[in-house]
A and B are shown apart, each in its own frame.
Chain A
Amino acid sequence: MSDESHVSHESGELPVTVVDSTRSWGFVDLGELSHYRDLMYFMVWRAIKVAYAQSIGGLAWAVVQPAIQILVFTLVFGGLVGLESDGLPYLLFSTAAIVPWTYMSGAMAAASGSLIGNAAMLGKVYFPRVIFPLTPILSMMVNFVISLVLIVAVLLYYKVTPTVNMWLLPVLIIYMMMVPLAFGLWLSSLAIRYRDVGIIMGYFMRMLMYTAPILYASNEVPEDMRWWYVLNPIVGVIEGYRSALLGGASPDMFIRWDSLISGLIVSFVLVVTGAVYFRRMERVVVDVI
């Protein structure tokens, strides 16, 4: 509801917040968000703590879950089906993709359901609603960092030497966080009104997964289709990780600028438009949810 409210300082008095009934278009109020950064910190801390509370495995699950998926995919698609993996061992090939995909899919699902899931709190207290989808984007980074152990392990096992392409990693991490943020802003605010979002979420995630080179090599995609293919921002993330990490294992693992740049543009546009749409919807969220 912050698009119609603004804070101004009248001479020496307390700052005044004006709330009225107009619904204009605007961007998420970053100043207000900054005021609530301590809350943001505790929300993230709560999400991390609660996710593993009273479990024996604790944070080890952050490694075990992607590890199991990598093993299954390696056995089924690398072993039984025998998919092409750019001349790399399939285990190496899939680990570099599944670790970031696990983060993106988990954060995306949690962010998309964040407003619906916190309906009770939404009706009881006001703070910038954008904190809800932002929380899983940040809290799941902890799992991601821990699960990097898997990548390090396979790199050591296959004795892959690091290359200069490693410089790409910080960019990739920001980019990788933008993807679930973009979808999370759009889908969480759409889900307030249309519960259909929750229903199709599972299919949507699978579609994103199969239209990105997670299980297969992107070389398999026909060259004339690639223009469309790189519009999926997941493609740029996965190809980016492979080129940054596996450059020393195969000469095919060069940086693919087309998917990287188009993916960055697509996710940036989705984040900005998502923030505007979110802002417009957040004020009615309590009445509609």
Chain B
Amino acid sequence: MSKALSLENVSKLYRIGSSEDLQTDAGAFQKFFLKPMANLRKYRSLYNFSAAELAGETESKDILWALRDVSFDIEQGDVIGVVGANGAGKSTLLKVVSRITPPTKGRLRVWGRVSCLLEVGTGFHAELTGRENIYMSGTILGMRKREVDAKFDEIVEFSGVGKFIDTPVKRYSSGMSVRLAFAVMAHLEPDLLIVDEVLAVGDAEFQRKCLNQMGEAGKQGRTVMFVSHNMSAVARLCRRGLYMEKGRLIQDAPISDVVYTYMTRGGNSAAEREWPDIEEAPGDDSARLRSVKIVNEKGAPAGTIDIGHAVGVQMTFDVLEPGHNLSPYITLVSDAGLDLFSSADSNKQFESTPREVGRYTTTAWIPAEFLAEGAHYVRVVMRAMNRQQLVFREPDVVAFNVTDERNTGFGHSWWEGKPKGVVRPNLNWTYEYTDPSMVIEG
């Protein structure tokens, strides 16, 4: 196999404002006007680093190592998922690979053409028509005009914009312009495709379409580098994963291992997620999600559940404003990224009547002997039924493992190995017995 991308000890440093500048307003004012040469040095120092700083010998407070000694190779045809918490250096990595910003240290080599999708609609202009924006965006992302010509009809069809193609994009709904922008991106044919979280937009059907397109790109032997917080999507699309933390590459392994590392990061159990700070909690002014836990039948948090026991998905949320009809639902996702099933709150009164302000803890119970063995991810969604909006939608918020310690599957699995399928419901089988004397032959 030939290489698609190679990074050798790539580091990226940023100088962030040092605290001394901000001690007093008067001091900052005086410094700013009386020391223009100091200002000059300060601006130069934004991208010039001393040898000691580069060697990492001096731990100065105003230097941020967005990437630190990152080395890895990607073969052609690899589909790589980059995961990590916010601030781990994922975006910087993509920007360095796509040549938006140069490395401060180290070297990278890219074979062939790179297209980088850091946002949806780069180069889109509201005053231009759909047609003009397809050409604009396509050429910005590295296509030649004749390549856009060749793909034009496909792009229009994929976007579903149809007869509005010669209408200025400012007259489009936001969904339409996102679909058009993504359609252009989906038809790029670079040698290395870099995708950052663009799948977090659009309606569910469109997301599925996008994921399929990404999957196709991978199947066609295209090299893809994919950054996302959506673990089930990463798990489905990628074969190999890179886990990053504080600018360093911590793990380079098969994607399932990397996803596990991500879910259990910071010493947390993957089965529990809390938001102590309400400002950072998912949601809006009407309600915020405070925690999601996997609990066993006794109500205690549990990361592993035996197949013979029921499991609860418990979410706690604060209702902050009166007047909202808030109804949650959950979706279980398999470790292969497949949506297994969804279940909406069975307390239907909350769909038609507003909730009181206050804290709610609600648990969805999944019966015993229903789930298959293996890892399961949970997506939790809160709908405001009265205004038909999602308050929050948290993919892969918690994960848990289903085990079969008593080996209740097929007993001795001499026949076909493990039970088949994504669920393993314990069905109620009925039978009738007929005495041989009662069987009338012929």
Contact = CB atoms under 8 A, between A and B. Distances in A.
Do A and B actually bind? yes
Interface of A: 1, 4-5, 13-21, 36, 38-39, 41-43, 45-46, 49-50, 53-54, 121-127, 193-194, 283-284, 286-288
Interface in B73-119: 95-96, 98-112, 114, 116, 118-119
A283 B99 CA distance: 9
A18 B114 CA distance: 13
18 contacts: A4-B102, A15-B112, A20-B106, A21-B103, A21-B104, A21-B106, A21-B107, A38-B139, A39-B139, A49-B132, A53-B127, A122-B100, A123-B95, A123-B100, A125-B100, A125-B141, A126-B116, A287-B14
B354 interface: no
A287 B143 CA distance: 26
A50 B141 contact: no
A286 B109 contact: no
Nearest to A13: B2
Given A21-B103, A126-B99, A127-B140, A16 B109 contact: yes
Given A123-B100, A124-B118, A50 B127 contact: yes
B104 A49 contact: no
B110 A42 contact: no
B145 A38 contact: yes
Given A21-B107, A287-B101, A42 B47 contact: no
Contacts of A124: 100, 116, 118-119, 122
A4 B46 CA distance: 19
B136 A42 contact: yes
Nearest to B44: A193
Contacts of B141: 125
A2 to B, nearest CB: 8
B115 to A, nearest CB: 9
A225 to B, nearest CB: 32
A221 B387 CA distance: 73
Interface string B136-166: 1001111111000000000000000000000
Contact of B111 (A15, A45, A53, A54): A15
Contacts of A14: 2, 111-112, 191
A46 B125 contact: yes
B74 to A, nearest CB: 13
B301 interface: no
A18 to B, nearest CB: 5
Nearest to A17: B110
A19 B136 CA distance: 26
B414 interface: no
Nearest to A40: B139
A287 B2 contact: no
B109 A17 contact: yes
A39 B103 contact: no
B135 interface: yes
B105 A21 contact: yes
B128 interface: yes
Nearest to A2: B99
Given A125-B122, A125-B123, A126-B99, A288 B46 contact: yes
Interface centre among A5, A21, A49, A122, by most chain B C-beta atoms within 10 angstroms, is A21
Contacts of A121: 122-123, 140
Given A19-B103, A125-B118, A286-B95, 8 more contacts: A19-B96, A19-B109, A21-B104, A21-B107, A38-B145, A46-B132, A123-B95, A125-B123
Contacts of B95: 123, 286
B179 to A, nearest CB: 19
Nearest to B148: A38
Nearest to B127: A53
Contacts of B118: 123-125
A19 B99 contact: yes
B43 interface: yes
Contacts of A193: 43-44, 46
B140 A18 contact: no
B140 A39 contact: yes
B132 A126 contact: no
Interface string B177-197: 000000000000001000000
A287 B135 CA distance: 28
Nearest to B107: A20
Contact of B127 (A38, A54, A286, A287): A54
A288 B127 contact: no
B50 to A, nearest CB: 14
Nearest to A41: B145
Contacts of A36: 139
Interface centre among A4, A53, A287, by most chain B C-beta atoms within 10 angstroms, is A287
